[in-house]
Structure 1
Amino acid sequence: MVNFNGNLVSKSEVKISITNRGYKYGDALFETIRVVSGKVLFLEDHYFRLMASMRIMRMDIPMNYTMEFFDEEIIKTVEANNFDGNFARVRLNVDRGDGGKYMPNKNAKINFSIVAETLDSPFYLSHTFQDYIVDLYKDFYVAPGLLSSLKSNNKAIQIIGSVYAQENGWKNCLVLNTNKSIIEALNGNLFLVKGNSIKTPPLEDGCLKGVMRKQILSLLQNNPNYNIEEVSISPFELQKADELFITNTIVGIQSIGQYRKKKYNNTVAEDILKSLNVKLRLG
């Protein structure tokens, strides 16, 4: 079952107009959310990121789009699909409705849709990483700035980069901005470990304002064993790093096993993963 503007319908009944602005222009935003046993994880972070992004996109936010409203609609959708354990991956999509060219119609109605898929586990799992090989994606670059940090439906680089990675037998690619700094992976934020120092690119470099990125930064700031920095990362630093790992709200933490001829371990990533799961249990 799919939730379209609060109505639960089967996937076969969902119809999007060819004049829909999300379809025509990518005039839409989305959140990828993890739901565990009837609870939306990191709800506040997802909600406030979505609201901030809608304001940046100059969307007229409906009065009923409260955090409680989306919490109820997400849970309603997950429960309607009868997943075992109610563990689900949810995509909440918001678009500006139909009509207009680049300039939207003044009376365009904001739509939302919620789609849910089942997940296997309520907690974040440790993933094999030795064969998780990555390289740089250098065909196109991301411009630093606020728009690049939005989770919008404009994902051309992620799509082409994913095809490029598959063609070369890699699991993922690392994305560069126009200053030739590494900003993220195709599907998540990047962290680099060297000794007890951990770096991740700053939002100003153009990386996604990731919800899991925020959680990891919070955990590290309270951990005396590590020094965390939000600082630009050069491709040359990859060869000197002890670990590289990718974060997003669905996978949690995915360690990278190899970049070119450099191989990495995952000791720090596993330590952070344990702390993350402890936080979820206590929460």
Structure 2
Amino acid sequence: MSDSPSPLHILLHVPKCAGRTIEVHLAAHMPAGAFFLPRHPGRGGVSKMPPPDGIRALSGHHLARSIEARFEGRDIRRSVLLRDPLSFQVSYYNFKMMRYLASGARPFSFALYYRALQRDPMAHFLLSRWLEVSPARLLLMPVAEKWRRLCEALSGFWFVGDYRRCDDLIAAVAPALGVPARAKRVNDEAAWARTVDWRPLTAADLGDEQRRRIPLENPLDAALYATWSGAGHDAASVRPGAPPAASDFLAHELVRPYWEARRRLARGWTMRPRGNEVIGAD
């Protein structure tokens, strides 16, 4: 029998990329102490982590690359699922509106949602959460540098794919983690739609100009998806092209607080807390 430590699977959860399905599946089928999902960013989340030797998988929104230092000597296998910008924006809007309705708040227009959201949300999520780039640094960092850091990081991943390859990723980690190879979808649009009176927006509901602009105004997300979503287990062989053209990220960030205030006013200031409830997990 080999005395080498078991591989550590790190499954990053980019919003609206099937991460919750993976987390619920692992939590339901792995023994206590073998799976850890930090609930808070920084030291507050890691402080509740079980002994590292017993952990075989990590996931969540609040994982940072520095956590790997706690697993010295382990074979670390990083995975992430991505989504094209248009699909992401529509799905994220629907999720927010249905969550607001379920929490006693009010929905509002896609136009207001989009103005209040950071440009390139998936790319900046990975840069800020996983790569731990500070908000101030992100404001001033050139697009080419952001692209270089993202590509350098993803080239060392064990699996990178489209969010619709959730089943493929679960099947790939299942033997090592001792979990079933298929998982029930949770927290998806269909599950939320059964809980609130909301007709989900579709890409077809947006005007032609809006559909055209979203990939152009989120060039890092568009390049991230186009370059990396088909990598699968061969991320090391991906040869990224030139960085995308400069975006209006800084200019948008300077005016975004105004739209965030408008968004809060539109939804209402009182929301019932929902904790960590997962829709469709029964």
Interval of TM-score (by shorter of Structure 1 and Structure 2): under 0.3
Q: TM-score, length-normalised on structure 1?
A: 0.25
More relative contact order, 1 or 2 (CA 8 Å, 6+ apart)? 2
Structure ranking higher in strand proportion: 1
